[in-house]
Amino acid sequence: MDEVLAPDAKQAINAARTFRDAHITPFADGIELRRETAISTLRLASQYGLLGLQVATTHGGGGLSAVATARVYEEIAEGCLPHAFSLEVHNNIASLVSRHATRAQQDRWLPRLLSGDAVAAFCLTEPSVGSDAAAIQCAADHSENDWVLNGEKAWVTNAAGADLFAVWAQTDVAAGWRGIAAFLVEREAKGLTVTDPYQLMGGHAMGTAGILLRDCRVRADGLISPPGEAFKVAMQGITSARIFVSAQCCGILKAGLERAISYASERKAFGRPVGSFQGLQWELVNVATQREAARLLAYRAAAAADKNLSATVEAAQAKKLQPPQRLAAW
């Protein structure tokens, strides 16, 4: 796959490997055991050109295709999937600003997002609203020249250390999804509170938390996507996220498979390595085969996105093919 990619894409993939090996793989276990967030590591990604992967080159970004971007995330996920997902969310918002923000908003935020000076978070999910994103209850009301936001967001990746929040809120309940708008809200905004990071079974590097919005005033120029457009922009972002998460799962599965093979070659039973037993060999081969199938689905979806085709079905199929649970035993 890499052989057909453009030189800039190959360079980004190599940068991802270097970043992973230097700043993620040696520390991922400790971060998880101590339940730490990894915002400082995310900021370091700017030194490797990884914070604006799909931002246009005219805006200082990498201008990478979806296929190349997926490869970057796959490489990073080999070291730690939560780190890769945290990076993906930040890149998602950087791309949002690059493609949909006003010139003033771009001038204000893109340099900070690309340099790592500002970490971004995506705020759509709410405690009482899961996959039905059109039913969000966070309200945005006009007040003179400003907007006032009231509501709560949950499962916000990067929230623990984010400097900028992209918040989707409802401006007109009667309009349904057409009433939803998106706003850029700074962490210091009065009325915005970030909850303590969630205590999870895993994935603490993502710094997942909730945010509370209580009469949070946002200037008129904080509107990044108006009603009628914002919901479609969010769905496009979710489709992209599904593609990239699929690639990340393939990355972490590769790391797990390599570890399992290494262990099976060292662990002995009945006088020989357990990896020499045919039953176990079948299990490992099944995992390797399913990983290859998952990769094909992931990159088929990415290729569809690069052709500006609707990749909704392809992305969902790619994300559905989860890594085999049997590997967890290793």
pLDDT at 64: 97
pLDDT at 328: 41
Cβ atoms < 10 Å from Cβ of 189 = 19
Assess whether 81 and 155 both reside in one domain. Answer: no
Assess whether 276 and 321 both reside in one domain. Answer: yes
Q: Is pLDDT above 80 for 326? A: no
pLDDT band at 325 (very low <50, low <70, confident <90, very high): very low
Please report, for residues 117, 150, 223, the alpha-carbon distance to residue 108 in angstroms, rounded to integers and kept in the order given: 12, 25, 14
Assess whether 106 and 175 both reside in one domain. Answer: no
Residues 247 and 123: their CA atoms lie apart, in Å, by 23
φ/ψ of residue 225, rounded to 5: -145, 120
pLDDT at 128: 87
**Mean per-residue pLDDT for 76-96?**
96
CATH number at 21 reads 1.10.540.10
Assess whether 213 and 250 both reside in one domain. Answer: no
Domain boundary among 119, 134, 161: 119
CB 150 within 8 A of CB 138: yes
φ/ψ of residue 136, rounded to 5: -60, 145
**Amino acid occupying residue 61:** G
Q: DSSP letter at 131?
A: S
Assess whether 106 and 6 both reside in one domain. Answer: yes
Could you tell me the residue range of the domain that residue 75 belongs to?
Answer: 2-119
User: How confident is the model over 249-281, as pLDDT tens digits?
Assistant: 999 999 999 999 999 999 999 999 998 999 999
Assess whether 17 and 79 both reside in one domain. Answer: yes
**Mean per-residue pLDDT for 132-159?**
94
For the question of whether the overall pTM of this predicted structure is more than 0.75, the answer is: yes
Q: Comparing 39 with 64, which gets the higher pLDDT?
A: 64
User: How confident is the model over 201-227, as pLDDT tens digits?
Assistant: 889 999 999 999 999 999 999 999 999
Assess whether 35 and 91 both reside in one domain. Answer: yes
User: Any residues with CB less than 8 A from the CB of 150 and at least 6 apart, and which?
Assistant: 138, 139, 141, 213, 214, 215, 216
pLDDT at 4: 84
pLDDT band at 38 (very low <50, low <70, confident <90, very high): confident
pLDDT band at 1 (very low <50, low <70, confident <90, very high): confident
Residues 292 and 188: their CA atoms lie apart, in Å, by 45
By mean pLDDT, which of 81-85, 202-206, 218-222, 325-329 is the weakest? 325-329
- Please give the structure tokens belonging to residue 146: 């400003």
Q: Is pLDDT above 60 for 97? A: yes
Q: Is pLDDT above 50 for 329? A: no
Q: Is pLDDT above 60 for 73? A: yes
**Mean per-residue pLDDT for 37-45?**
92
Q: DSSP letter at 142?
A: E
State percent of the chain over pLDDT 90. 86
Please tell me the total count of domains within the chain: 3
Residues 194 and 159: their CA atoms lie apart, in Å, by 7
CATH number at 211 reads 2.40.110.10
Nearest to 35, CA basis, from 195, 207, 249, 158: 207
pLDDT band at 183 (very low <50, low <70, confident <90, very high): very high
Assess whether 212 and 299 both reside in one domain. Answer: no
**Mean per-residue pLDDT for 121-143?**
92
Residues 74 and 5: their CA atoms lie apart, in Å, by 15
- Please give the structure tokens belonging to residue 115: 């340099």
Domain boundary among 119, 145, 178: 119
Domain boundary among 183, 209, 230: 230
Written as one string, the DSSP assignment of 161-221 is T-SEEEEEEES-GGGGGGGEEEEEEETT-TTEEEPPPP--SS-GGG--EEEEEEEEEEEGG
pLDDT band at 184 (very low <50, low <70, confident <90, very high): very high
- Please give the structure tokens belonging to residue 84: 């890769």
- Please give the structure tokens belonging to residue 143: 């007040």
- Please give the structure tokens belonging to residue 123: 């705020």
pLDDT at 322: 58
pLDDT at 145: 84
pLDDT at 166: 98
Mean pLDDT of the chain: 93
**Mean per-residue pLDDT for 229-240?**
94
CATH number at 251 reads 1.20.140.10
Residues 313 and 293: their CA atoms lie apart, in Å, by 16
